[in-house]
Every structure is written in structure tokens, then in C-alpha cells.
Amino acid sequence: MQYIYLIFVIISFIYMDKVKKESKKDGLLVGKEKWIVLLTVLLSPMLAGAVYYYGWAKKLPIKAKQANKYSYIAFGVLVCIYAARFLLR
């Protein structure tokens, strides 16, 4: 399971750098950007969210805040899932 987290953190580093280099102006995450960020933060919420937030914070602050919001939501969902699994044993 640790390898999955590591793989998605590496993917988030690569994608964050790609978007940072290619973006001319800041705006909301749309289309493919949004889905890639959602997938990576769902599978590694805190690390991938931190990668996106701190990687984009200066050049792309709107995208950074949106990715950070998605990581908080994903973390909350995962906590609820683990709590439900624990309580339903």
C-alpha cells in the first residue's frame, strides 16, 4: 500500500511541475487538470495536496487553493471510511 502512495506522490510532483511550466495565467482547475488532481489527492490526500499547494502557491494561487480544498475533502472522506470500517467490525 505504501508503494501506491509513493507512486501517486511522484505523479503529483511531475504533473504539478508540468502545469506550473505551461500555465500562462492562473484560474480554476478545469477538465483534465481537475480530474488528475482529484485522482492523485484521493489516493494520497495529504502528500499530493501539499505538493500541489506548495508547488503552485506563488505562481498559481487559485489552482493551489482549489487543490488544497480537494485534499482536505479527500482526507475527510478517507477518515469517514476508516472510521466506518472500524465501527462496523
Q: What is the pLDDT along the chain (89 residues), one digit of tens a residue?
A: 678 888 989 999 999 999 999 988 889 999 999 999 999 999 888 899 999 999 999 999 999 999 999 999 999 999 999 999 999 98
Domain hosting 82: range is: 2-17+25-87
pTM of the model: 0.88
How far apart are alpha carbons 49 and 40 in whole angstroms? Answer: 8
Q: Measured at the alpha carbon of residue 24, what is the angle toward residues 70 and 47, in degrees to the nearest 5?
A: 30
The letter for the amino acid at 10 is: I
Q: Provide the number of structural domains found in the chain.
A: 1
